[in-house]
Amino acid sequence: MTSEWGPLAGLIGEWESETGGLDTAFSHSRKEVLGSPYREKCSMKPFGPVDNGAQSLYGLDYRSAMWRGDEENPFHTEVGYWLWDAASGELMKCFVIPRGITVLAGTMTSADATTFTLEATLGDSRYVIGENTYLASNASSLSYKATITVGDATWSYDEVTTLRMNEFAEPFAHTDHNTLHRVS
C-alpha cells in the first residue's frame, strides 16, 4: 500500500499478540540467560505532516507494552515515533525505554517496502543510542538492529540489541521477536 506514510502505512492501527513473543536477556534475579515468552499490545497512531524546512515527515505515534504470563505490570515498554521522509526514502524509529535509554534507528528504503531493517549504534553521529551513567558502566547498548516484516493485518519484528555486560567477556545478544495481529 502506498500513501503519505509509505512503508509505515501497513503498521497503522491497534495490535496484539496473545503469545508468540520471545525475549532473551540476562536475568539478574536468576543469574542466568533466560528465554521469556511474552504477550504484547501496540498502538500506532498516524500523524503528519511535520515540516523541518523543506523536509516533510509523516509518522506514527506509538506505544507498546509486553507482559510475561499473567503478570500485572509490563516487563518492557516503549514510547516513540516512526517517521517516513518520502523525498529521501529515509525511515526512522525514535523511541525511549524506561531504563534510561533512547534510540534513533534508521535506514533508507522505498515507499512500497514490506520488509526493512533499521539500525542504531552507540556513538554513531546519526543513528545513535543514548544511555544513563549506570548502564554505560554496567550494561552498555552497543548496537540495535530491528527487521520489520509487514503482512496483511499482521506485522512482525526480529531485533537484536548487542550489550557489553560486566557479566560476560564477549558482547551479549539480547534478542526479541514477535508477530502482532490488528485488533482495530
The answer to whether 76 and 66 have CB atoms below 8 angstroms apart is: yes
Could you tell me how many residues of this chain bind ligand HEM (CB under 6 A)? 25
Q: Residue 23 interacts with ligand HEM (CB under 6 A)?
A: yes
Q: Is 87 helix (H, G, I), strand (E, B) or coil?
A: coil
For 132, the grid coordinates are 544513563
Nearest to 38 by CA among 79, 71, 69: 69
Q: How many angstroms separate the Cα of 43 from the Cα of each of 14, 50, 89, 102?
A: 5, 20, 24, 19
Q: Residue 45 interacts with ligand HEM (CB under 6 A)?
A: no
Q: Residue 26 interacts with ligand HEM (CB under 6 A)?
A: yes
Site for ligand HEM in 66-95 (CB under 6 A): 66, 75-76
Residue 49: asked if its preceding bond is cis (omega within 30°), the reply is: yes
Considering beta carbons, is residue 164 or 182 the nearer one to ligand HEM? 164
Question: Please, what is the Cα angle at 17 between 97 and 63, to 5 degrees?
Answer: 30
Q: Which of 12, 101, 111, 160 binds ligand HEM (CB under 6 A)?
A: 101
Q: Residue 105 interacts with ligand HEM (CB under 6 A)?
A: no
Considering beta carbons, is residue 18 or 152 the nearer one to ligand HEM? 18
**Site residues for ligand HEM per CB under 6 A:** 23, 25-29, 36, 38, 66, 75-76, 97, 99, 101, 103, 129, 135, 139, 141, 144, 161, 163, 165, 174, 176
